[in-house]
């Protein structure tokens, strides 16, 4: 579906990469707004390793926009936001990795509004950058991450990164998992439909946050309809506001991780109830259309109260 006349005009800036948050958001925004993309490999080509002036870019495009939106990723180097009348916003995805006086905070100062993916960092971004900020969690595209009919030949599995020095807590738990359970799946470098296929092979999906982030894996695992076992986070992180523990996912403490996993694996009825409820929760509140609509509403751009589709079309993986 393509948005028609009368809807907000958004200039979305990011370098083309189908695995990034921005790519998922673009698909959703096109249902709710008139979108032009700019960046390497986009409708408007921008140099990947050269600075881009926002005033010059808008002058070059010679058309009005209601919003200039950038989503953190491997972004182009943009500047000059303070010199244009068009509102400029930024969605900070890796806010949990940049909490110091560094380029992340200085970059944030350029924008009129900040969206921060991790709730417990919103106030700090607002305080240090002096820019209004609001929580916009990550999400899932349920047309990419949907149930795949396949044998569930692994009891528990993980799809994601396990980098030495960065994911040490995750690596320790995965090592314990491999020692305790016989049928364990660990997959690195899988994205989109391939990741959905791998997750669907597991009776239970494992997740471990990095610096207490509610990562994309939370929403994507729920979206494929597998029961999610994820680490318990402090209330300030907002996980409990996104999905109910014991009903839509299961949380664990590191010290008793194995016992929690064994209880879930032993109760197939409970596991399937949680799997079904978790996917329903994503469709209800945690797709990228929900995020796009919330983003536009926050900026006063008149998005519908609900996404224009249910976010789950027929077909797919």
Residues 252-270 have pLDDT tens digits of 999 999 999 999 999 999 9
Segment 176-180 shows an average pLDDT of 89
State the pLDDT at residue 59.
Answer: 96
pLDDT above 80 for 104 = no
Q: Binning pLDDT at 50, 70 and 90, where does residue 311 land?
A: very low
- Residues paired with 186 in a beta bridge: 158
State the pLDDT at residue 312.
Answer: 41
Q: Which domains does the chain have, with CATH numbers?
A: 9-139+287-298 (3.40.50.2000), 154-285 (3.40.50.2000)
Please list, in sequence order, all residues whose beta carbon lies within 8 angstroms of the beta carbon of residue 312, skipping any fewer than 6 positions away: 142, 143, 146, 283
Secondary element (H or E) of residue 4: none
State the pLDDT at residue 47.
Answer: 86
State the pLDDT at residue 165.
Answer: 75
- Residues paired with 231 in a beta bridge: 252
Segment 49-68 shows an average pLDDT of 95
Q: What CA–CA distance (Å, rounded) separates 195 from 176?
A: 23
Q: Binning pLDDT at 50, 70 and 90, where does residue 307 land?
A: very low
Segment 119-137 shows an average pLDDT of 92
pLDDT above 70 for 317 = no
Segment 264-287 shows an average pLDDT of 96
pLDDT above 50 for 200 = yes
State the pLDDT at residue 83.
Answer: 95
Segment 40-69 shows an average pLDDT of 94
Segment 23-31 shows an average pLDDT of 97
Q: What CA–CA distance (Å, rounded) separates 157 from 245?
A: 19
Q: What CA–CA distance (Å, rounded) separates 254 from 203?
A: 20
Segment 274-279 shows an average pLDDT of 96
Higher per-residue pLDDT: 46 or 100:
46
pLDDT above 90 for 26 = yes
pTM: 0.90
Q: Binning pLDDT at 50, 70 and 90, where does residue 315 land?
A: very low
pLDDT above 80 for 234 = yes
**73 in Cβ contact with 20 (< 8 Å):** yes
Min mean pLDDT across 26-30, 100-104, 246-250 is at: 100-104
Q: Binning pLDDT at 50, 70 and 90, where does residue 149 land?
A: confident
**Percent of the chain beyond pLDDT 90?**
68
pLDDT above 90 for 14 = yes
**75 in Cβ contact with 54 (< 8 Å):** no
């Amino acid at each position: 579906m393509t948005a028609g006349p009368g809807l907000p005009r958004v200039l979305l800036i990011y370098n083309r990469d189908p695995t990034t948050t921005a790519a998922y958001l673009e698909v959703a925004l096109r249902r709710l707004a008139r979108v032009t993309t700019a960046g390497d490999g986009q409708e408007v080509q921008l140099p990947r390793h050269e600075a881009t002036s926002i005033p010059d870019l808008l002058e070059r495009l010679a058309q009005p926009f209601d919003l200039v939106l950038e989503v953190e990723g491997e972004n182009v180097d943009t500047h000059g936001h303070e010199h244009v009348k068009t509102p400029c916003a930024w969605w900070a995805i890796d806010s949990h990795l940049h909490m110091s006086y560094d380029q992340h905070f200085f970059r944030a100062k350029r924008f009129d509004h900040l969206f921060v993916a991790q709730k417990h960092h919103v106030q700090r971004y607002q305080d240090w950058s002096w820019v209004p900020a609001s929580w916009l969690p990550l999400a899932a595209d349920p047309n990419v991450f949907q149930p795949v009919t396949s044998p569930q030949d692994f009891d528990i599995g993980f799809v994601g990164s396990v980098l030495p020095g960065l994911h040490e807590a995750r690596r320790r738990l995965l090592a314990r998992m491999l020692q305790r359970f016989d049928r364990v799946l660990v997959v690195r470098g899988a994205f989109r439909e391939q990741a959905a296929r791998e997750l669907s092979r597991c009776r239970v999906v494992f997740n471990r946050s990095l610096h207490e982030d509610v990562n994309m894996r939370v929403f994507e695992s729920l979206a494929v309809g597998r029961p999610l076992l994820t680490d318990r986070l402090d209330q300030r992180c907002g996980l409990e506001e996104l999905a109910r523990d014991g009903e839509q996912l299961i949380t664990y403490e590191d010290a008793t991780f194995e016992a929690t996993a064994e209880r879930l694996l032993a109760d197939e009825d409970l596991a399937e109830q949680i799997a079904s409820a978790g996917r329903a929760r994503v469709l209800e509140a945690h797709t990228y259309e929900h995020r796009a609509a919330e983003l536009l509403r926050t900026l006063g751009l008149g998005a519908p109260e609900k996404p224009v589709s249910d976010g789950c079309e027929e077909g797919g993986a």
